Amino acid sequence: EFAINADLSQSRATYINDEVVEVIETLINIERLIGTAFDDTLIGDVENNSLTGADGNDILIGGAGNDRLFGGIGADIFGFSSPNQGIDTITDFNSAQGDLIQVLASGFGGGLTGGVLDSDQFTIGSAATQASDRFIYHDTTGALFFDPDGTGALAQIQFAQLSGGVALTNNDIFVV
């Protein structure tokens, strides 16, 4: 029984086998990772990666590139350090399972503070409707955007694509 922590941007992975941490330091030219039935952490690199968490409460971070993220069963975290690293497709976001979109405040900017995203920083539609809006979710297409100013002076940036019809709310976005 073991979980894997693989980071393609660092070309290494670790896993615990019989309570001993094993390190693999030769992850080169890999674009697809599949996790275990346990709580895995899978991190992509600058390529267009495919990360599959499988079972467990997994953390999936695509990194740069247009990545494909599949959490599987469990309360998964889909992490983003910046809105400018491509558009990651989340194929199975399910807030009823406890899935979360986690964003890094220092990488996104826009006056974000830690914790669950403030409700006035989230809107559903195709564009910001007030200056406080930072995250715009187009519930028909599944596009998720970040708007650094909410006014239109700076363009909104699509950073994620969810399946259309997902009932995303501000409670599904967590700022760290």
What pLDDT, in 10s, does the model give residues 47-68?
A: 999 999 989 999 999 999 999 9
Alpha carbon of residue 37 to chain centroid: 20
Q: Is the Cβ–Cβ distance between 161 and 142 less than 8 Å?
A: yes
- Cα 151 to Cα 162: distance, rounded to the nearest angstrom: 24
- Cα 18 to Cα 40: distance, rounded to the nearest angstrom: 16
Q: How confident is the model at residue 30 (pLDDT cuts 50, 70, 90)?
A: low
- Cα 107 to Cα 130: distance, rounded to the nearest angstrom: 22
Percent of the chain predicted with pLDDT > 90: 69
- Cα 143 to Cα 163: distance, rounded to the nearest angstrom: 8
pTM tops 0.85: yes
Picking from 157, 132, 160, 159, the residue whose alpha carbon sits closest to that of residue 147 is: 157
Quick one: pLDDT at residue 165? 80
Percent of the chain predicted with pLDDT > 70: 83
The 8-class DSSP code of residue 105 comes to H
With a cut of 80, say whether residue 23 has pLDDT above it.
no
Task: Tell me the chain's radius of gyration from C-alpha atoms.
Answer: 16
Q: In this structure, how many other beta carbons lie within 10 angstroms of the beta carbon of residue 128? A: 20
Over residues 73-111, the pLDDT tens digits come to 999 999 999 999 999 999 999 999 999 999 999 999 989
Q: Tell me the mean pLDDT in the region 15-28.
A: 61
- Cα 41 to Cα 62: distance, rounded to the nearest angstrom: 11
With a cut of 70, say whether residue 11 has pLDDT above it.
no
Where exactly are the structural domains of the chain?
Answer: 75-175
